[in-house]
């Protein structure tokens, strides 16, 4: 029997002798399928690729994995010779199993660290990767900002890519010399079986709040929480933020040994004596990392308490891996995460930060964090995406009105709406709280205005786009990176 058939574990042969067929290539997109491929048919929310079988047969595909019985499949199957068809209960799970087999189980050849949570995944992953690389690990990174390894960057549509892409990426990382992978493991990744066949050496849980609930996501919070907890069924060891909501529940139900980290509660790893630090060339935090009798003073080059949690998770993993503390300190003292509380410019006594905050909750958390640094003025530059819920605009307008000393309203992926109309919606709640704002629809001009009028002691937050590298208007994408524009406009002032 062929190895790939055994990898399916549970299956039913409907036609032919698949056990004798070679696995030459895997396809699950009918547009890209070729003769000789094994094609997996899936029932999606909008498309059922079982319906594509007739055109796949015309392309020369003769090996299928399906989710339906023979009588429920297109009649063309019964009229075509030389077919092999296998039925499985879940084609997405089958795709993960076949992909891991096809690429020869690359995840087993590297140190695997998975991170899940509502907030903090991207920053924590970047911190863990930075520490690992400082310690000599050649490390790949997979997450919201894309795929990075060995100087290569690839874009990704999903925080956790499809299982085939994951396994293919692991193999490419290994062949490029990587011996470790740090990846964000989303709840959708677990639900859609993208992470199947991965056993993490360490699984990290950062926190959980109500999010990603709705059509094509999770039906309710209970389901969302369940899939977050799946990381501890796929890890050798777990690491849990014990200050997070439902942490005790996650700990109790974990299927692997776990360690805890916390600021407030007692845990294996703790952060104490937290200080916010701001100088002309530094903004961040200092805290004591406490593990048993060990106490180390840590400088984190990312501001805010929630970044202390992210750093604490990363240091805890480093401690479990017995990475020397001087390597940890060096990595965290210079960490930068694209679009996540990213200190982009410090000059003339003011600081400019880029952040991905793009809803009221994220914006409130960000502005609360920045206020703790007691800026002379807290200035926020933001807009809202077009063709999205107007509630986001109203919420962000209200938060800006309550918390910012001055607001500059501008564009942010207006899509098929007029930027001026979006700004008007934001103004309906903003103006109930303040009159200290200006509207400048052109985002570049808005950033220049903020820099030109900045004063010593100001903190300027340019938010909403974060790591994004484009601006979307009427279906057209043009390059626009907040970080780059800030530096370009600052150069004009020089």
CATH of residue 359: 3.90.190.20
Question: Does 30 count as an annotated binding residue?
Answer: yes
- Do 304 and 398 fall within a single domain? no
- Of 292, 307, 333, the position where a domain reaches its end is 333
- Do 357 and 478 fall within a single domain? yes
Note the pLDDT tens digit of each residue in 338-356.
888 888 999 999 999 999 9
CB contact at 8 A, 117 and 211: no
CATH for 140: 3.40.1190.10
Q: Is residue 274 part of a domain?
A: yes
Distance CA 487, CA 261 (A): 37
Distance CA 137, CA 180 (A): 6
Q: Is residue 404 part of a domain?
A: yes
Q: Name the helix (H) or strand (E) containing 279.
A: strand 269-279
Count CB-CB contacts under 10 A for residue 2.
13
- Furthest C-alpha separation in the chain: 78
In this structure, what token pair is assigned to residue 310? 């992210």
Q: Is residue 98 part of a domain?
A: no
pTM: predicted TM-score of the whole model, two decimal places: 0.85
What pLDDT does residue 210 have?
Answer: 64
Question: Does 123 count as an annotated binding residue?
Answer: yes
- Do 296 and 327 fall within a single domain? yes
Helix axes 305-320, 325-333, angle to 10 degrees: 150
Question: Does 130 count as an annotated binding residue?
Answer: no
Distance CA 299, CA 310 (A): 13
- Do 398 and 478 fall within a single domain? yes
- Do 240 and 150 fall within a single domain? yes
Residues 6 or more apart from 418 whose CB is under 8 A from it? none
- Of 37, 71, 91, the position where a domain reaches its end is 91
- Do 328 and 363 fall within a single domain? no
Note the pLDDT tens digit of each residue in 130-161.
999 999 999 999 998 899 999 999 988 888 89
Question: Does 194 count as an annotated binding residue?
Answer: yes
- Of 301, 333, 365, the position where a domain reaches its end is 333
Number of domains in the chain: 3
In this structure, what token pair is assigned to residue 203? 């699984």
When pLDDT is cut at 50, 70 and 90, the band that residue 463 belongs to is: very high
Question: Does 432 count as an annotated binding residue?
Answer: no
- Do 119 and 161 fall within a single domain? yes
413: DSSP letter: -
CB contact at 8 A, 264 and 243: yes
What pLDDT does residue 217 have?
Answer: 66
What pLDDT does residue 337 have?
Answer: 81
- Do 50 and 152 fall within a single domain? no
Residues 6 or more apart from 298 whose CB is under 8 A from it? 271, 286, 287, 288, 289, 311, 315, 328, 329, 332
Question: Does 276 count as an annotated binding residue?
Answer: no
- Do 273 and 189 fall within a single domain? yes
Q: Is residue 39 part of a domain?
A: yes
Q: Is residue 97 part of a domain?
A: no
Quickly tell me which residue has 């000789």 as its tokens: 36
Burial label for 354, CB within 10 Å (0-12, 13-18, 19+), is: buried
- Do 258 and 120 fall within a single domain? yes
Question: Does 351 count as an annotated binding residue?
Answer: no
CB contact at 8 A, 211 and 242: no
CATH for 76: 3.40.1390.10
**Cα Rg of the chain, angstroms:** 25
Question: Does 214 count as an annotated binding residue?
Answer: no
Distance CA 457, CA 376 (A): 5
Residue 275 structural domain: 103-333
When pLDDT is cut at 50, 70 and 90, the band that residue 486 belongs to is: very high
- Do 304 and 195 fall within a single domain? yes
Question: Does 143 count as an annotated binding residue?
Answer: no
Q: Is residue 392 part of a domain?
A: yes
When pLDDT is cut at 50, 70 and 90, the band that residue 1 belongs to is: low
Q: Is residue 117 part of a domain?
A: yes
When pLDDT is cut at 50, 70 and 90, the band that residue 218 belongs to is: low
Question: Does 169 count as an annotated binding residue?
Answer: no
Mean pLDDT for 471-494 is 94
Strand order in the sheet with 139-143: 152-154, 146-149, 139-143, 180-184, 111-116, 200-205, 235-241, 258-262, 269-279, 282-291, 294-300
What pLDDT does residue 109 have?
Answer: 98
Distance CA 283, CA 276 (A): 8
Question: Does 121 count as an annotated binding residue?
Answer: yes
Nearest to 139 by CA among 131, 154, 152, 129: 129
Q: Is residue 427 part of a domain?
A: yes
Residues 6 or more apart from 390 whose CB is under 8 A from it? 425
- Do 236 and 255 fall within a single domain? yes
Q: Phi and psi at residue 253, in whole multiples of 5°?
A: -95, 0
What pLDDT does residue 214 have?
Answer: 60
Mean pLDDT for 412-440 is 97
């Amino acid at each position: 029997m062929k190895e790939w058939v055994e990898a399916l574990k549970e299956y039913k042969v409907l036609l032919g002798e698949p056990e004798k067929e070679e696995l030459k290539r895997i396809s699950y997109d009918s547009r890209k399928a070729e003769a000789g491929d094994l094609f997996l048919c899936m029932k999606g929310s909008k498309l059922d690729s079982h319906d594509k079988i007739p055109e796949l047969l015309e392309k020369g595909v003769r090996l299928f994995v399906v989710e339906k019985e023979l009588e429920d499949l297109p009649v063309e199957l019964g009229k075509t010779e030389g077919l092999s068809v296998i039925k499985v209960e879940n084609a997405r799970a089958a795709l993960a199993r076949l992909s891991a087999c096809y690429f020869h189980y690359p995840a087993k050849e590297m140190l695997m660290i998975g991170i899940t949570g509502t907030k903090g995944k991207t920053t924590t992953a970047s911190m863990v990767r930075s520490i690992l690389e400082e310690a000599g690990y050649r490390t790949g990174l997979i997450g919201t900002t894309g795929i990075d390894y060995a100087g290569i960057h690839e874009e990704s549509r999903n925080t956790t890519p499809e299982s085939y892409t994951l396994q293919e990426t692991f193999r490419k990382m290994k062949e490029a010399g990587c011996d470790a992978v740090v990846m964000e493991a989303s709840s959708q990744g677990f639900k859609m079986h993208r992470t199947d066949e991965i056993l993490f050496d360490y699984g990290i849980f950062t926190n959980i709040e109500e999010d990603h609930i709705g059509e094509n996501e999770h039906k309710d919070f209970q389901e969302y929480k369940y899939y977050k907890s799946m990381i501890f069924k796929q890890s050798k060891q777990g690491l849990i933020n014990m200050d997070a909501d439902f942490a005790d529940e996650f700990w109790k139900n974990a299927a692997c040994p776990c360690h805890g980290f916390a600021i407030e509660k007692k845990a294996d790893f703790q952060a104490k004596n937290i200080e916010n630090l701001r100088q002309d060339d530094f903004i961040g935090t200092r805290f004591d990392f406490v593990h048993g009798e060990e106490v180390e003073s840590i400088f984190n080059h990312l501001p805010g308490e929630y970044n202390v949690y992210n750093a604490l998770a990363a240091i805890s993993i480093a401690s479990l891996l017995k990475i020397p503390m001087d390597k940890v300190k060096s990595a965290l003292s210079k960490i930068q995460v694209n679009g996540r509380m990213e200190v982009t410019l410090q000059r003339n006594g003011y600081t400019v930060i880029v952040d991905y905050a793009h809803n009221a909750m994220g914006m409130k958390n960000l502005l609360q964090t920045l206020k703790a640094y007691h800026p002379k003025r807290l200035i926020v530059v933001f807009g809202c995406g077009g063709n999205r819920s107007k509630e986001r605009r109203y919420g962000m307008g209200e938060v800006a009105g309550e918390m910012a000393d001055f607001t500059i309203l501008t564009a942010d992926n207006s899509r098929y709406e007029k930027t001026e109309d979006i700004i008007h919606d934001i103004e309906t709640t903003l103006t109930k709280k303040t009159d200290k704002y200006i509207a400048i629809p052109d985002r570049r001009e808005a950033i220049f205005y903020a820099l030109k009028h900045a004063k010593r002691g100001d903190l300027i937050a340019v938010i909403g786009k974060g790591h994004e590298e484009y601006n979307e208007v009427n279906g057209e994408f043009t390059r626009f990176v907040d970080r780059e524009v800030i530096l370009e406009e600052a150069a004009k002032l020089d």
